[in-house]
A and B are shown apart, each in its own frame.
Chain A
Amino acid sequence: DTAVSQTPKYLVTQMGNDKSIKCEQNLGHDTMYWYKQDSKKFLKIMFSYNNKELIINETVPNRFSPKSPDKAHLNLHINSLELGDSAVYFCASNTNRGTSGNTIYFGEGSWLTVV
C-alpha cells in the first residue's frame, strides 16, 4: 500500500484553468505538507497542516489554496493557472511535529505542465 498517494501524477492544462491535486496518507500522521519543486530541482515548502489546522503558509500566490477535509487528506487547489506554475508538486506527511527526528514521507509527485 502506498503510504502517501497523490493524484493525478501527470497533469497538462491550459493557462487560466483551475485544477486540483489530491493527496491522501494512510500512515495515521498528524501533519501534512505541500512542497513545490521547480525546473532546477529546488524544493520549497508551500503549506503545512497539523490536524486540519494550517501551521505553515509560505509566500505563495493566493491562487494556491490548500484544503484539509480531515487529517488524512490535504488537497491543493490552483486557480487561474499560469505558465510559471509548471512544476512538480509533492505531498508529504509527518507523524508528529515537535520531534525533529521524525521522518517526513513524500508522495511520488504530481507533474503539472501549464501550456
Chain B
Amino acid sequence: GNSVTQMEGPVTLSEEAFLTINCTYTATGYPSLFWYVQYPGEGLQLLLKATKADDKGSNKGFEATYRKETTSFHLEKGSVQVSDSAVYFCALSNQAGTALIFGKGTTLSVSS
C-alpha cells in the first residue's frame, strides 16, 4: 500500500541554519507529493507540492524536489527563522486523488 516515511524529530536549529527534513514514499502509480505545515495551535496549511517526477515545489524559501528514482521529497530551506517553528508533514495523494496519506510529522524548533 501507499505510505510516507519522515525523519523522526524533533529537529532543533539555530536561526539562519540550513534545514533538511527527509521524506520518502512508497506508492503505486504516480502520486503527487505535498508538504503541509502546522503552526502551534493552528490547522494544516499547504506549504508546497509537486505533481510529477523532477518537479520542484517552492514557497516561503522552502523547496522540495520530486525524485522518482529515490522515491524521495526532501524539504529544504537555506536559512530558517524562529517563525518557521512548526510541525511539518510530508504527504502523498494517490493517483485517484481520493485522499492524502501523511507521514508522522517532524517538529522543527528554531531558536534565536
Residues of A within 8 A of B (CB): 31, 33, 40-45, 48, 55-56, 90, 92, 94, 96-109
Contacts and interface: CB of A to CB of B under 8 A. Distances in A.
Contact of A43 (B45, B93, B96, B105): B105
A74 to B, nearest CB: 14
Interface of B: 30-32, 34, 36, 38, 42-46, 49, 51, 87, 89, 93-102, 104-105, 107
Given A40-B104, A42-B105, A106-B43, A101 B49 contact: yes
Given A41-B105, A100-B31, A90 B43 contact: yes
A90 B105 CA distance: 15
A101 B44 contact: no
B98 A97 contact: yes
Nearest to B38: A41
Contact of A48 (B43, B89, B98, B104): B98
A41 B95 contact: no
Given A90-B43, A102-B97, A104-B100, 7 more contacts: A33-B99, A41-B38, A41-B87, A42-B105, A45-B99, A100-B31, A109-B42
A44 B105 CA distance: 12
A101 B105 contact: no
A41 B96 CA distance: 26
Contacts of A96: 97
A73 B31 CA distance: 27
B96 A100 contact: yes
